[in-house]
Amino acid sequence: MIATEPVDQKTLDMTREILRMKEEMRAVILAHYYQDSIIQDIADIRGDSFELSRRAREVDADVIVFAGVHFMAETAKILNPGKTVLLPDMNAGCSLAESAPAHLFRRFREQHPDHLAVTYINCTAEVKALSDIICTSSSAERILSRLPGDMPIIFAPDKNLGNYVRQKTGRNLLLWQGVCTVHEQFSAQRIAVLRAETPDAEVIAHPECEGVVLQQADFVGSTGALLQHVQKSAARRFIVATESGILHQMKLAAPEKEFIAAPPDNGCACNICDYMKVNTLEKLYLCMKNRSPEITVEENLRIRALRPIERMLELADADAQQAADIVREIRLPFEA
Ligand code: 13P
Ligand code: SF4
């Protein structure tokens, strides 16, 4: 029976209980940088989508508690099926994943059967299974530049990331027209004003932002790359155009520097991903206590989704010859 009554936070030290249960159930907690700071602090491993996938595959514990969104936890299950994978709230979705329903993506591939499909990890297991190679924001440029220059490629679902990597790699990309509703909100105009007011600040941005925002950026990268950049850069101030959860790690990594959340168009001071923020410490505690909600992936689907994800992990480290071998095993034209 799953306990649903509210937790009495006055009498229960949830942090201590989570740490105790973690030992008891041999669990490891993975957290994305957009999670609440209190969840990031309690996690064993923090990272961007690529790093969390890589680490999830290597986890040796019995249980993976995934503090992130559904597609991230689902990817962990696909890569490490012997583990129990828990997600604090099943409503932790993603606007990009929602923008690409599997039946429409399949039709798109059928309409362009000679195109290879490189798909952003922000998608469902069904869409992964219909793809040739998965990528993340940190690996997309490297993966695309490993593919033959004349090859027609479907890139889905994020058109902003697609446009950005098309410019960087010169590859022939046919873009799915999805967007992240959080990164779409940044106002290029308000960022320009802020930049004029703080001329010493660097603008740094996630590639899910619109081109007009990326054009103003001194540095563009995944959440992990942005975090590394602020530590290496000589700048003392940064205007950060991505979800504001990352500011927590930036402040910890470079406490002497100043981080200003880039302003969105919606009148708020900073940008929040509501999907990420449905996970709370209380839900993290409850999901461990109840061992639910649990991520399951039907085995036939898991196997079909696995190879495209493995290709991403392999291509990220591959030399030219290894990359050519990986691409050669992909069968075109596409057949569903
Ligand atoms: P990263 O791979 O940069 O962590 O991005 C994940 C994401 O969902 C960005 O919105
Ligand atoms: Fe999805 Fe955007 Fe939230 Fe990232 S920030 S999880 S892309 S909705």
Q: Is 330 exposed, middle or buried (0-12, 13-18, 19+ CB in 10 A)?
A: middle
pLDDT digits (tens, 9 = 90+) for 239-279: 999 999 999 999 999 999 999 999 988 766 568 999 999 99
The whole-number pLDDT of residue 327 equals 94
Residue 148 CA to ligand 1 centre (angstroms): 26
Band of residue 53 on the pLDDT scale cut at 50, 70, 90: very high
Residue 68 CA to ligand 2 centre (angstroms): 10
258-261 β-sheet, strand order = 219-220, 202-205, 237-241, 258-261
- Other beta carbons within 10 Å of 103: 9
Domains of the chain: 14-93+277-290 (3.40.50.10800), 96-178+299-328 (3.40.50.10800), 183-272 (3.40.50.10800)
The whole-number pLDDT of residue 8 equals 74
Is residue 242 within 6 Å of ligand 2 at its C-beta? no
Question: Quick check: 5 pLDDT over 90?
Answer: no
CB 229 within 8 A of CB 239: no
The whole-number pLDDT of residue 7 equals 73
Is residue 123 within 6 Å of ligand 2 at its C-beta? no
**Which helix H or strand E contains 80, and what residues bound it?**
none
pLDDT digits (tens, 9 = 90+) for 153-187: 999 999 999 999 999 999 999 999 999 999 999 99
Q: Which atom in ligand 1 lies closest to the alpha carbon of residue 226? A: 3
pLDDT digits (tens, 9 = 90+) for 143-158: 999 999 999 999 999 9
The residue nearest atom 2 of ligand 1, judged by CA position, is: 49
Q: Which atom in ligand 2 lies closest to the alpha carbon of residue 32? A: 6
The whole-number pLDDT of residue 12 equals 82
Residue 139 per-residue DSSP state: T
Q: What is the mean pLDDT of the chain?
A: 95
Residue 310 CA to ligand 2 centre (angstroms): 22
The residue nearest atom 7 of ligand 2, judged by CA position, is: 180
At 53, is the secondary structure helix, strand, or coil? helix
Q: Which ligand is nearest to the CA of 48?
A: 1
Pocket (CB within 6 angstroms of ligand 1): 48-50, 122, 136-138, 180, 206, 208, 222-223
Is residue 100 within 6 Å of ligand 2 at its C-beta? no
Band of residue 50 on the pLDDT scale cut at 50, 70, 90: very high
| Six token digits for residue 269 | 């001071």
Average pLDDT over residues 295-302: 98
The whole-number pLDDT of residue 266 equals 74
Q: Report the 3 state secondary structure along 262-318.
A: CCECCCCCCCCCHHHHCCCHHHHHHHHHHCCCECCCCHHHHHHHHHHHHHHHHHHHC
Of 32, 74, 279, the residue with max ligand 1 atoms within 8 A of its CB, to mutate for a pocket test, comes to 32
Residue 273 CA to ligand 2 centre (angstroms): 6
The whole-number pLDDT of residue 257 equals 98
Whole-model pTM? 0.95
The whole-number pLDDT of residue 1 equals 42
Of 35, 45, 46, 48, the residue with max ligand 1 atoms within 8 A of its CB, to mutate for a pocket test, comes to 48
| Six token digits for residue 42 | 């309690």
pLDDT digits (tens, 9 = 90+) for 59-96: 999 999 999 999 999 999 999 999 999 999 999 999 99
At 32, is the secondary structure helix, strand, or coil? strand
Band of residue 4 on the pLDDT scale cut at 50, 70, 90: low
CB 89 within 8 A of CB 283: yes
pLDDT digits (tens, 9 = 90+) for 306-317: 999 999 999 988
Question: Quick check: 288 pLDDT over 50?
Answer: yes
45-47 β-sheet, strand order = 45-47, 27-32, 63-67, 84-86
In Å, what is the CA distance from 272 to each residue of 15, 183, 203, 255?
A: 24, 9, 18, 22
CA gap 112, 36 in Å, rounded: 41
Output b/e per residue, 170-209; b: 16+ Cβ within 10 A: ebebbbbebbbbbbbbbbbeebeebbeeeeebbbbbbbbb
Is residue 185 within 6 Å of ligand 2 at its C-beta? no
Band of residue 138 on the pLDDT scale cut at 50, 70, 90: very high
